[in-house]
Amino acid sequence: MQLGFLVDLHLCMGCKGCEIACKVENEVPLSTWRLRVKYVDVGMFPETKRTFTPLRCNHCANAPCERICPVSALHYIENGIVNIDKERCIGCAGCVMACPYGAIYIDPETQTADKCTYCAHRVASSMMPACVVACPVEANIFGDLDDKTSNISKYIQAHQGDVQVRKPEKGTLPHHYYVGGGNVHLNPLASRRDEGYSLFNKLTSKMPVGGDH
Amino acid sequence: MVHETVAATNAVVTLDVGLPGVVWGWIITMNMWAKSIGTGVIFMLFYLLKKYPVEAAAYRFKVALISVIAIHVFLLFTVIDLHQMFRFWHIFFHPHFTSAITVGAWMATLFVGLLFLLLYASFIKKDTILFDKVLAWTVVLAIPVTLYTAGLMAQSTARELWQMPTEAAQMIFAATLSGSAVMILIGNRLSYEAKRDLGIILAFSALGAFILYMSELVFGPMKAEEVAAVLEFIKGNGEYATMFWVGQILAFVGPFILVVLALMNRSTSILNLASISALVGLWISKHVWLVIPQLLNMS
């Protein structure tokens, strides 16, 4: 079994329902996100368009975070999920340095690394991840990539040529796919960030020993 | 290049989370800097004992002590940077050997053991034969201990600026630069010829490191878009441009010129000045190179 995710960006309307569901389900602390929806505005008024991109851990087949973790706190489980054992994590932040998707953060409450686990605890109970359940337009498609009859496999087959992953050049082999994604959606260098125009720019959180670097 | 399309599309992020900030900061800089000294002085002692055995003999205990102190500073800063420092023992009881952190921690521990053996041989047993035998193994182990941080940086897939084998070469140059600088500063009893040799090592280390930094600065952006974006932080009016050039001048350009002047004038005081400049500048250079890739948004 190899679990994977696919987001159809044609369907996503940026409601952030997935983001909130994830926060609630996993008790994600303030100032941190396992899943977030990025808004990017494209064009000049009146020819403008807003794009929405849900971003979460890619559960890579060749995960740099798993490789760099000195204590196997980040590890694969048999269904392909890259899981995290927060009790074992020493908070070295090697995984934060290694993840090319910025998907891993240091939990300010536990002072350990954390990230999306595809709701491994729910999956173990044969439930869908919280974000999938919350999505009102079924833009989030989750399932077994090894099963040709699963919804995700059929979706990938039906949209061949329009299925992409983030940063394929990194060789991480993500198990998280996007349909209908463009450069603006998937490449952080394809948009600019004007300081002061984004929410949550001035966040403060509990700092580890050593204080603010 | 994607940035060419940004102006055309006017794509601007209008709602997202803030950047996570610098996760590996000055504590990790201290870690790398102290480790360079700790292994560098061992390399230099080995060289001096081979080339100038009589006058270098007095430095066996002193260098072992300096190395122990520097390596413990390195270990201290390694541990305090952990967000869960009291779980450090997990590295030894739940090791994951694909990680450069694990390999480095094990090798550094073994290295500390050998250093204490050097202290024992020089201070308690006063056995130079034992010391020199252990020193040979210590030098061998000092090489991977010096290099493992480069391996860690190479494993940081998200930070394209940190490339192998460039970082490996930089780590070796940092060790020989700081090792020779410290030996010059403590080498009151060394002859001019020995100090001259140390000065030449310092100058060539500085030159090598400077060439690598400049090569990356000029040619790095031609191969990788993320590298180009990161290097903008040290170019022109970049946030770290001033700090970068201060570091380059203090660590590499200044010491190289000062060593040349010192050799022309047979001046040990100029060598001392070059050494202090190199040690200060090395910290700054390492810090800039550590921080700038972390300023780039990964998503």
Instruction: For B242-281, write each residue's pLDDT tens digit.
Output: 999 999 999 999 999 999 999 999 999 999 999 999 999 9
Residue B42 lies in a domain: yes
Q: How far out from the chain centre does Cα B53 lie?
A: 27
Mean pLDDT of A80-85: 96
Cβ distance of A199 and B152 shorter than 8 Å: no
Among A69, A115, A213, the residue to mutate for chain B (most B Cβ within 10 A): A213
Weakest mean pLDDT among B16-20, B105-109, B129-133: B16-20
Cβ distance of B88 and A55 shorter than 8 Å: no
> Domains along chain A?
3-190 (3.30.70.20)
* Domain span holding position B256: 26-295
Residue B190's pLDDT is what? Answer: 94
Mean pLDDT of B226-233: 95
User: B2: pLDDT confidence band, cut at 50, 70 and 90?
Assistant: low
Residue B15's pLDDT is what? Answer: 83
User: A27: pLDDT confidence band, cut at 50, 70 and 90?
Assistant: very high
Residue A102's pLDDT is what? Answer: 93
A192 contact residues in B (CB cutoff 8 A): 6, 11-13
Tell me the CA end-to-end span of chain A in Å, nearest whole number.
Answer: 42
Interface of A with B in 122-161 (CB under 8 A): none
Contacts of A110 (CB under 8 A, 6+ apart): A86
Residue A114's pLDDT is what? Answer: 96
Residue B135 lies in a domain: yes
Q: Which amino acid is at B287?
A: H
Please check the confidence at residue A49 and state whether its pLDDT lies above 90.
yes
pLDDT tens per residue, range B154-171:
999 999 999 999 999 999
Residue B5 lies in a domain: no
Q: Smallest Cα–Cα separation from B145: which of B106, B91, B107, B112?
A: B107
User: A212: pLDDT confidence band, cut at 50, 70 and 90?
Assistant: very low
Residue B21's pLDDT is what? Answer: 77
B100 contact residues in A (CB cutoff 8 A): 68
Q: How many domains does chain B have?
A: 1
How would you classify the pairing of strands A105-106 and A113-114? Answer: antiparallel
Cβ distance of A190 and B17 shorter than 8 Å: no
Residue B9 lies in a domain: no
Residue B112 lies in a domain: yes
Q: Which residue of B has its CA nearest to A72?
A: B96
How would you classify the pairing of strands A176-179 and A3-8? Answer: parallel
More confident residue, B189 or A204: B189
Rounded CA gap, A23 and A17, in Å?
10
Q: At B201, which CATH number?
A: 1.20.1630.10
Q: Which amino acid is at B175?
A: A
Mean pLDDT of B222-226: 92
Strand partners, A142: A5
Contacts of B76 (CB under 8 A, 6+ apart): none
Q: What are phi and psi of A77, to 5 degrees?
A: -110, 170
Contacts of B195 (CB under 8 A, 6+ apart): B184, B187, B268, B271
Strand partners, A141: A6
Residue B278 lies in a domain: yes
Asked whether the beta carbons of A34 and A116 are under 8 A apart, the reply is yes
Residue B21 lies in a domain: no
Residue A213's pLDDT is what? Answer: 42
Residue B235 lies in a domain: yes
